[in-house]
Structure 1
Amino acid sequence: MMTSYTAFVTESWLATGPRNHIVETLRGMPETERASDILVFDDETGQQVDFDLRALAQEPAPPKRGRPKLGVTSKEVTLLPRHWEWLAKQPGGASATLRKLVETARKAGLPDRSKRDAAYHFLSAMAGDYPHFEEAIRALYADDRSRFETLTAKWPTAVRDHALGMAWGQ
């Protein structure tokens, strides 16, 4: 799954998509008065990220280990002996079972707490000085969407809507 990012210029939404799309969009923009007016966020974590616009707009090449044509890289997994024993008894072995478990978890989506944390990280960077910020964060973690919407009604639409999408989906 490719990571998705969202870019803002001051309080306005600019673009959402994979890294290449964001980099190309930013490269095509007229110069802003302050570089700090442009913020890019990882949509899964809500963390602010920086892209070097001078670099090629490609994802970094994966290391040449594992099965590179399949996108497989070698990693280390630390488990207790009883875990390895259980995995060895599963159809397809340990690797196939771990892949199935990971895919099942990915399809289930992020837990609510992770979604709230991502929205919080985003809002801390974008809305920390907006009115009712602390109350809105309390509503976010209380899973009170209605109160969150009421408290953020006068915030810039792009900021509010992105946070709602991160926390509750739209």
Structure 2
Amino acid sequence: MSSSSESRLTAFAGFRRIASGPRAKVIAQVRKQCAHSGQAQPFVFDDSTGERLDIDLREGASPAPAATAQDPAARGVGRPRLGVVAREVTLLPRHWEWLGRQPGGASVALRRLIDEARHVHADRDAQRAAREATYRFMSAIAGDLPCFEEAARALFAGDRARFDAHIATWPEDVQAHLHKLAAAAWSAAA
């Protein structure tokens, strides 16, 4: 999924996609749609996570940026200006001994190990994230559609053909968005 700072959203009115793109653009389109149609507020989803978002569509309300994972009030030990935040790690004594013998100390060794693991497992992590995002969206919008459970099983089994077969009768816009979200889920399975 996208790692850019500008989140991408997709909005659905029922099973029909009404907007997709950068956050500010989608919110503006959804506001316009709601003002003209008078219908219930559409569902808005974050494309990177598949999560349904609660968006304030009242006139004059600013499109707030996505919530940050770190609460500024929770800052403590570390170098906050550099983005370094201390967290607790529980290791066995033999692990601490090994880390203590590494050049640069424990922090340098842990950062190096994490960077190596991120590189080695990048495809697997992207595949897992795509499956989870697809499932979140699918649960929110298609949980009551026929073959939902079978489609979910096929998604997590990495069986694209079975997944496609189970969602074949679903609304076209829902299918298209599921294919977009699941694209990375099939990369390693193919």
Higher helix share: 2
Matched, 1:9 2:15: no
1:30 aligns to what SS in structure 2? helix
In structure 2, the CA distance between the partners of 1:159 and 1:104, relative to structure 1 (3 Å rule), is: farther
Structure 1 residue 57, shift from structure 2 partner: 3.3
Equivalence for 2:169: 154
Equivalence for 1:69: 81
Percent identity of equivalent pairs: 41
TM-score by length of 2: 0.66
How far apart are the structure 1 equivalents of 2:17 and 2:92? 49
Equivalence for 1:92: 104
| Letter of the 1:134 counterpart | E
| Letter of the 1:83 counterpart | H
Residues 9 and 45 in structure 2, CA contact (< 8 A), matched pair in contact too: yes
Equivalenced residues, count? 164
Residues 42 and 49 in structure 1, CA contact (< 8 A), matched pair in contact too: no
In structure 2, the CA distance between the partners of 1:41 and 1:56, relative to structure 1 (3 Å rule), is: closer
Equivalence for 1:57: 64
In structure 2, the CA distance between the partners of 1:103 and 1:142, relative to structure 1 (3 Å rule), is: same
Higher Cα radius of gyration: 2
Residues 27 and 63 in structure 2, CA contact (< 8 A), matched pair in contact too: no
Structure 1 residue 112, shift from structure 2 partner: 4.5
How far apart are the structure 2 equivalents of 1:51 and 1:82? 49
Residues 23 and 51 in structure 1, CA contact (< 8 A), matched pair in contact too: no
For the aligned residue pairs, the C-alpha RMSD in angstroms reads 3.2
User: Any runs of at least 4 consecutive aligned residues in structure 1 with deviations exceeding 6 A, and if so which?
Assistant: none
Equivalence for 2:43: 38
TM-score by length of 1: 0.72
How far apart are the structure 1 equivalents of 2:116 and 2:179? 25
Matched, 1:47 2:16: no
Gaps of 5+ in 2: none
Gaps of 5+ in 1: none
Residues 87 and 97 in structure 1, CA contact (< 8 A), matched pair in contact too: yes
CA distances 1:83-140 after superposition (whole Å, capped 9, x unpaired):
2222222233222222233333434141755543332222110111223222212221
